[in-house]
Amino acid sequence: MALPSQKPNEPLGDEILQDWENIGSGGFGDVYKARHKDWGFDVAIKLLHRGVCPSASLWIEAEVMTRASCDCVLRLYGTYKGFPPIEGDPVQRRRGGEPMQEGLVMAFMERGSLQSLFDKLHDPLLWPLVCRLAHQVAVGMNFLHQQDLMHGDLKPCNVLLDDHFNAKLADFGLSRVSTSCMSTSCMPTEEKTGYLQGTYKYMPPEAFDSSYHPVRAFDIYSYGILLWSILSGKEPYPCNNPELVIESVRGGQRPPTPKKIDKEGWNELVNLMEQCWDNDPSKRPKFKDSLETTEAVFSQNRDGIPDAVCQVEKAFRGVATTSNQLSTRGKKKPFIERTESNDEIRDPIKVSTREMSCPDKVKFVDEYRPNLIRNVTKVMEITDLLGEMVHDEARASMAAAETSYIRMRKLYSSLHSGGDKVKAAFYDALAQLHPELV
């Protein structure tokens, strides 16, 4: 039977989708599960928060997902346009002249993400599953790079899992066309800067330089850190202070090698991990070369996959029973209430400015540095509010920068030199000009 597909110029509408449920929320937008009436199965729908990102960013992500279509990448079914039943009566919103929301319709992954798997199991994964996940992520990333694409935010919560715990790369909102093919890209001019901002614990040391232009070695480094997480079942760097982590990474420090186990292929994956996170980008192996290692290790342990999957499914059933009992309590409410989930996108949470002490503001500014650099657009307006806290030379440098991304990186340098007082003032300015981010 042919799999369902949806032409980009034929968006799905409200008449074909029902039973909406929020399954993830973050600074950029929300992800919902909904039932497609005709197809007879659930799909995932990604909607952006209004005013946070231009709708063009969705179509760029759709273009990347289309070009990157393969077995190890989350499937894009099409697009959505309508009034989702999540913010009041859709009929009243339509009559009131409210613009329709647009989104992406993708395959729904019942098992969640690699991050949620770590959170639920609390232990390292079974070795055969480690080998398969390491290989499948490498296959998906190699395919992206072969298509002259980059991911830019490879981390556990962006690796989704199907019913049998196969890896599917997802969340291409930070993807960019590789610099080698930007001139032929369909991306708008403002998107051709080539700058990326992923999660700092998975970013290479060179990415923290203000003049950095990402290349494929960015993704390869991220894969090395991701490999560490797959091997250990943990998040790298227990310290959540971005400045300390960044300073350590730039100084050559990496997560400690996981405790060795007597399994076939262990040494090979650890060696690959260390090659991928090399400080020198030119020494990191291409994914095409990495596949030789991951495929060999996976082949050696392939026979153990059915038993490993069976054991993980048993562990999941215990967790799922409790989760389902909790989630059904509000199922018949007419509109969806936003709740936390294990798959939540880890972006800034909204906290009332009145409740924030000075240390809390400083902590927020430090902890959410990557997300704020990526999202803030009113940089010069913020510097105006900061007044003399920003030196004239720094202000002129920011004004001369071509993008808000570069301006924000320069502004953060000024914040760190100014100390906690300036960071707290920056938070207040941010709350005034970008309330949706705090």
How far apart CA 22 and CA 347 sit, in angstroms, is 16
What H or E segment, with its residue span, contains residue 133? helix 127-146
Nearest to 31, CA basis, from 401, 338, 263: 338
Q: Which of 14, 30, 42, 153 is catalytic?
A: 153
Which residue has tokens 């556990």? 156
Quote the distance between the C-alpha of residue 392 and its chain's center: 35
Binding residues for ATP: 46
149 beta partners: 177
Q: Are strands 101-107 and 167-169 parallel, antiparallel or unpaired?
A: unpaired
DSSP readout, 356-402? --HHHHHHHHHHTHHHHHHH---HHHHHHHHGGGS-HHHHHHHHH-S
Contact 231, 273 (CB under 8 A): yes
43 beta partners: 34, 107
What Cα–Cα distance (Å) separates residue 147 from each residue in 72, 142, 176, 200, 216? 14, 9, 11, 25, 12
Report the chain's C-alpha Rg in angstroms: 22
What Cα–Cα distance (Å) separates residue 392 from each residue in 125, 385, 414, 416? 53, 14, 11, 16
Output DSSP code: residue 337.
P
Question: Quick check: is 71 catalytic?
Answer: no
- Helices and strands, counts by H and E, the chain: 15, 9
What H or E segment, with its residue span, contains residue 295? helix 287-301
Structure tokens at 2: 């042919």
CA torsion angle for 352, 357, 359, 362 (degrees, to 10)? 40
Binding residues: 46
Output DSSP code: residue 28.
S
How far apart CA 332 and CA 23 sit, in angstroms, is 16
Q: Are strands 29-36 and 17-25 parallel, antiparallel or unpaired?
A: antiparallel
Structure tokens at 406: 């570069």
Half-sphere exposure for 38 (CA within 13 Å, toward CB): 9
Task: State the catalytic residues.
Answer: 153
